[in-house]
Amino acid sequence: MITSALADTDVFKTTLPNGLTVLIKENHTLPIVATTVLYKVGSRNEISGKSGKAHLVEHMMFKGTEKFKKGEIYSSVQKHGGMLDAYTSEDYTYYSLSLPAKYLKIALAIEADRMRNCVFDPMEFVSEKKVIIEERKMDLDSPFVSFRDENLKKAFKVHPYRNSITGSIEEIEGFTREGILNFYNTYYQPNNAILVVVGDIQTDSTLKLIKKLFGQIPEGPDPPQVTIIEPEQKQEQRLELKQRVTHPIIQVLFHVPPNDTKDSYALQVLDYILTGGENSRLIKKLVKEQPIFTFIGSSYYESLDPYIYSITAELKEGVSSQKAEADLFNEIDSLKQDPPLKHEIKGAKNQLEMGALFLQESINDQAELLATTEFFYGIEQLQKYAQEIESITREDVQRVAQKYLVKKNRTVGWLLPRDK
Amino acid sequence: MALGFSAPPQPPASISKVVLDNGLTVLIYENHALPLVCLIAHVKAGSQYEPDEKAGLSYLVSAMLTKGTQAKSAEEVVSQIEFAGGYIISSGSQTGSFVQCEASKNDLDLALEMISDVLINPSFDYQEMERQKEYFLSGIKSRGDDPETVGKLEFNKYVYGKHPYHRPLSGYEETIENITREDLIQFHQKYYVPNNTVLAIAGDIDSQKIIPKIKKEFGGWPRKSVKLPELPEISSQKEIIAKTVNMQGEQTHVFLGHLGIKYKNPDYYTLEVLDIILGAGGLSSRIAYNLRDVKGLAYTAYSDITGSAGMEPGRFLAYMAVSPENKEAAITGLLNELQKIRNEPVLTEELEDAKSYLIGSSYFGLQGNEALANYLILCEVFDLGFDFIDKYPEYINHVTKEDIQRAARKYLHPEAYTLVIVGQ
């Protein structure tokens, strides 16, 4: 039975009149606190040709607000021994501040101010675009990043998931301050955000402070919805890229449903059966028993719209790519022919359960888990998740393999060494 | 406005130490937050003890530990622990080898049995060894693709000279190919003994009840005397060494630095504070702030001297990723920062902020069983006392501006350094 320590302990949830969702959880293990703010905007909300806005806003959120001049957000947190983190994903943008518990007010003051009072200083804007361009160049230096970008463009014809989160150099160069400010004003509103506090604090006094700092921010207009639907892929897509790598790499993308659908729970179990550890199907058969690949991994993660399940593998020296590809798909097909064994299902579920426990060891991880669970499911689903996974049968796994891991639903990319 | 109360970190009463008859040091930290356990065994069997011509040997031995024992095949070793949702890994460093196992608290017996078996009875199966060697060789080849790895290895070559740290952990193509199964067995027999090993356990356990379980799994491991090889002394360079490695890429990678300090250096804590001010304190450090934020020269820029300090001297290393046309300006900027921190005392605000940062953030490093087990090992190996986390604020608070300037003059050398540039 999967247990979620978070689900069992008190998570206080409320919504302020301006629409801000607030989650508070006390954790008195160490005298520290983590605050996170999740804005419901990601690269998914961008128009093709103008990708990279959400990411640029994320950077500008550190470059000065009305109360905190450039550099002061960093220094205010750092000098009190804290840490800052932020990232932009396809679906949301995430900010995290951790501090000794006695400095909670600083974290909340920063988040309250930058929610609506980011300054977007023109000179900072220009300089930060340069920094992001450097970041993009670093990405381009890595063959794996450009490879994945190309694969996504092949797999998605219209949906914004096809675009890189950072944006292309041309797109970034083309952004104006007005355009980015407009994007910020559209999406950075209390009714489009989730605030989470986890740590050595008291719920009542924390809520009081949150109301004081965030309560006065007026509710904003509802942001536009993403209405683009990726049409069903009707045939296999393929691509080949030549880059500076020593061995060929294959990456296969399958279109899959988003989380919180019956099939998605079965796919999570399937994912572990395929590549969850050394005795998983693909690793055992194709890395250890018949050495076709030196490594093989897969990734299936939460998304708002249907995303992709990807399997990536590096070819062993001297193995033909045709044989490797055929063997890989044969192995996947075997799961369609016969359902997985009892111990495979049990092992996958144990791994998912333990994975959930490992995700609760630090207050940052707990805060992130609460924020993303609230975003994708609603916090009430924490216990439902455990039950859903528990209920998956061998036939469910076989069924989703038959339904989604099929030829016409896949995009096959090969990354080849330049000189071969 | 003070919110909540400040609970002290877990008191030392949760920590206990026992040394078995065979010399195995056992460290225990009770943590009942989640139903998990973490076991880490640390053996003084690192790459610094292997000969140059067998570079990669110790790392290979570490990797092979989980690849089969006398009683179990590689597959059996992992299948049980993976089925339970846990994991067992082994790896090595310059100083030591470690095996780490995490599992649900209900699987404590399994975890203990696993760790003792892989540590004491690895089989070094020939085929597994060949497979692992191939994996290493593939990694060695790929090393050449990553500019950061290429740069760091080149840098180490010049800074360490004949000292074992000049060579990479995973060795070279020629040395890996030369390693035999007999080499693995010999190395294991020589260093993997209980009196050369520390076992740390953190998690939802009972300190008393666990001891007989540990004795059951480890008690039969025979003590054996170990002679750890002497390592050569290294001296600081007196001149500038500059090397360029040509590599295609959008960015140029700059590595600048020289020999550093040992952990037990009396100025260690002073240099920790200096590190935060100069280059290791994230984006508000001088190097990052001036070269990235102010001048827009780099996306990444940092420096560090204490991070690599161990029983052997570490290195001072500054790293920047820049556009090729900004290379010279970035290097000049970096050297200016080194000069400045030597020539002028740091500002009071910088000093206080850095101290507050180190002290405040020290708690973040203690979250989770893996962190607690590693904390125990650190305190044991470096003789810090298990209440180190409580004494740490004093060590840091004692540091003055004069200490920092003195240490900067003594340990930072903008006049004699190694510069490696990877790019065009």
Chain B CB within 8 Å of residue A104 CB: yes
Instruction: Give A332 or B33, the one with higher predicted confidence.
Output: A332
3-state helix, strand, coil in chain B (%, to 5): 50, 20, 30
Put simply, the answer to whether A246 touches B145 (Cβ < 8 Å) is yes
In this structure, the answer to whether residues A295 and A204 fall within a common structural domain is: no
- Which tens digit of pLDDT belongs to each residue from A131-148? 999 989 888 888 899 999
In this structure, the answer to whether residues A273 and A172 fall within a common structural domain is: no
In a domain, A219, yes or no: no
In a domain, B174, yes or no: yes
Chain B CB within 8 Å of residue A353 CB: yes
Is 50 exceeded by the pLDDT of residue B94? yes
Put simply, the answer to whether B360 touches A28 (Cβ < 8 Å) is no
In this structure, the answer to whether residues A207 and A241 fall within a common structural domain is: no
- How does the average pLDDT of chain A come out, rounded? 93
Among the partner residues B3, B299, B367, nearest to A205 by beta-carbon distance: B3
Residue B26 is inside which H or E element, if any?
Answer: strand B25-30
Query: CATH no. for residue B23?
Result: 3.30.830.10
Strands A237-243 vs A293-299: parallel, antiparallel or unpaired = unpaired
Domain stop point among B218, B233, B252? B218
In a domain, A131, yes or no: yes
In this structure, the answer to whether residues B273 and B381 fall within a common structural domain is: yes
Cβ contacts of B7 on chain A, cutoff 8 Å: 28-31, 200
User: Residue B58's pLDDT is what?
Assistant: 98
Chain A CB within 8 Å of residue B135 CB: yes
Put simply, the answer to whether B321 touches A277 (Cβ < 8 Å) is no
Residues 6+ away with beta carbon under 8 Å from A349: A2, A269, A389, A390, A392
- Which tens digit of pLDDT belongs to each residue from A362-402? 999 999 999 999 999 898 887 788 788 899 999 999 999 99
SS (H, E, C) A228-249: CCCCCCCCCEEEEEEECCCCCE
User: Residue A6's pLDDT is what?
Assistant: 59
From the candidates A246, A280, A416, which should be mutated to test the interface with B, based on the most B CB atoms within 10 A?
A246
CA distance B295 to B283: 13
Are A250 and A324 within 8 A, CB to CB? yes
**What percent of chain A clears pLDDT 90, i.e. is strictly above it?**
80
In this structure, the answer to whether residues B200 and B251 fall within a common structural domain is: no
Mean pLDDT of A279-286: 93
Chain A CB within 8 Å of residue B104 CB: yes
**Phi and psi (nearest 5°) for A198?**
-130, 130
In a domain, B223, yes or no: no
Mean pLDDT of A236-251: 95
Query: CATH no. for residue A345?
Result: 3.30.830.10
In this structure, the answer to whether residues B194 and B264 fall within a common structural domain is: no
Cβ contacts of B106 on chain A, cutoff 8 Å: none
From the candidates B141, B289, B299, which should be mutated to test the interface with A, based on the most A CB atoms within 10 A?
B299
Other CB atoms within a 10 A radius of the CB of residue B21 amount to 9
Distance of residue A224 Cα from the nearest chain B Cα, in angstroms: 33
Which residue shows structure tokens 């998570």?
A: A11
In this structure, the answer to whether residues B199 and B320 fall within a common structural domain is: no
Cβ contacts of A246 on chain B, cutoff 8 Å: 138, 141-142, 144-145
Chain A CB within 8 Å of residue B250 CB: yes
The identity of residue A365, as a single letter, is D
Is 70 exceeded by the pLDDT of residue B141? yes
In this structure, the answer to whether residues B285 and B201 fall within a common structural domain is: no
Mean pLDDT of B74-102: 94
> Judged by CB atoms within 8 Å, which residues 157-216 of A form the interface with B?
200-202, 205-206, 209
Is 80 exceeded by the pLDDT of residue B316? yes
Chain A CB within 8 Å of residue B13 CB: no
B208 CB burial (10 A radius; 0-12, 13-18, 19+): exposed
Distance of residue B142 Cα from the nearest chain A Cα, in angstroms: 6
User: Residue A9's pLDDT is what?
Assistant: 65
Residue B359 is inside which H or E element, if any?
Answer: helix B348-361
User: Residue B66's pLDDT is what?
Assistant: 95
- Which tens digit of pLDDT belongs to each residue from A26-58? 998 888 999 999 999 999 999 888 999 999 999
In this structure, the answer to whether residues B180 and B247 fall within a common structural domain is: no
B264 CB burial (10 A radius; 0-12, 13-18, 19+): exposed
User: Residue A420's pLDDT is what?
Assistant: 53
CA distance B132 to A243: 26
State the total domains in chain A.
2
- Which tens digit of pLDDT belongs to each residue from B234-258? 999 999 999 999 998 888 999 999 9
Strand-pairing partners, residue B200, are B27, B40
Put simply, the answer to whether A127 touches B282 (Cβ < 8 Å) is no
Mean pLDDT of A322-340: 96
In this structure, the answer to whether residues A195 and A287 fall within a common structural domain is: no
Rg (alpha carbons) of chain A, rounded to whole number: 23
- Which tens digit of pLDDT belongs to each residue from A147-166? 999 999 999 999 999 999 99
Cβ contacts of A100 on chain B, cutoff 8 Å: 6, 360, 363
CA distance A157 to A153: 7
Residue B155: domain span: 13-218
In this structure, the answer to whether residues A196 and A245 fall within a common structural domain is: no
Put simply, the answer to whether B75 touches A288 (Cβ < 8 Å) is yes
Size of interface A-B (CB pairs under 8 A): 193
Among the partner residues B33, B284, B367, nearest to A71 by beta-carbon distance: B284
Per the structure block, which two tokens stand in for A127?
A: 């300089």
From the candidates B106, B107, B286, B361, which should be mutated to test the interface with A, based on the most A CB atoms within 10 A?
B361
Residue A391: domain span: 237-417
User: Residue B113's pLDDT is what?
Assistant: 97
3-state helix, strand, coil in chain A (%, to 5): 50, 20, 35
- How does the average pLDDT of chain B come out, rounded? 93
Q: Side-chain half-sphere of A398: how many Cα atoms within 13 Å?
A: 12
Chain B CB within 8 Å of residue A291 CB: yes
> Is A2 in a helix, a strand, or coil?
coil
Q: If pLDDT is split at 50, 70 and 90, which confidence band does A68 have?
A: very high
In this structure, the answer to whether residues B302 and B175 fall within a common structural domain is: no
> What sign does the CA torsion over A204, A206, A208, A210 have?
negative
Among the partner residues B33, B131, B282, nearest to A74 by beta-carbon distance: B282
Put simply, the answer to whether B298 touches A134 (Cβ < 8 Å) is yes
Are A168 and A159 within 8 A, CB to CB? no
Is 60 exceeded by the pLDDT of residue A340? yes
Is 90 exceeded by the pLDDT of residue A359? no
Distance of residue A221 Cα from the nearest chain B Cα, in angstroms: 33
Q: If pLDDT is split at 50, 70 and 90, which confidence band does A3 have?
A: very low
User: Residue A8's pLDDT is what?
Assistant: 52
In a domain, B168, yes or no: yes
Are A414 and A314 within 8 A, CB to CB? no
Domain stop point among B218, B253, B271? B218
Is 80 exceeded by the pLDDT of residue B310? yes
CA distance B424 to B401: 40
Distance of residue A119 Cα from the nearest chain B Cα, in angstroms: 16
Domain stop point among A160, A182, A214? A214
User: Residue B7's pLDDT is what?
Assistant: 39
Chain B CB within 8 Å of residue A102 CB: yes
Put simply, the answer to whether B83 touches A279 (Cβ < 8 Å) is yes
Put simply, the answer to whether B33 touches A361 (Cβ < 8 Å) is yes
Among the partner residues A32, A134, A361, nearest to B363 by beta-carbon distance: A32
Put simply, the answer to whether A361 touches B102 (Cβ < 8 Å) is no
Put simply, the answer to whether A201 touches B353 (Cβ < 8 Å) is no
Put simply, the answer to whether A350 touches B138 (Cβ < 8 Å) is no
In this structure, the answer to whether residues B44 and B171 fall within a common structural domain is: yes
| Closest among B68, B46, B89 to B370, alpha carbons compared | B89
In a domain, B17, yes or no: yes
Q: If pLDDT is split at 50, 70 and 90, which confidence band does A60 have?
A: very high
Distance of residue B327 Cα from the nearest chain A Cα, in angstroms: 13
The identity of residue A177, as a single letter, is R
State the total domains in chain B.
2
CA distance A99 to A199: 10
Are A195 and A159 within 8 A, CB to CB? no
Q: What is the pTM of this model?
A: 0.84
In this structure, the answer to whether residues B212 and B254 fall within a common structural domain is: no
> What sign does the CA torsion over A202, A203, A204, A210 have?
positive
User: Residue B2's pLDDT is what?
Assistant: 26
Chain A CB within 8 Å of residue B9 CB: yes
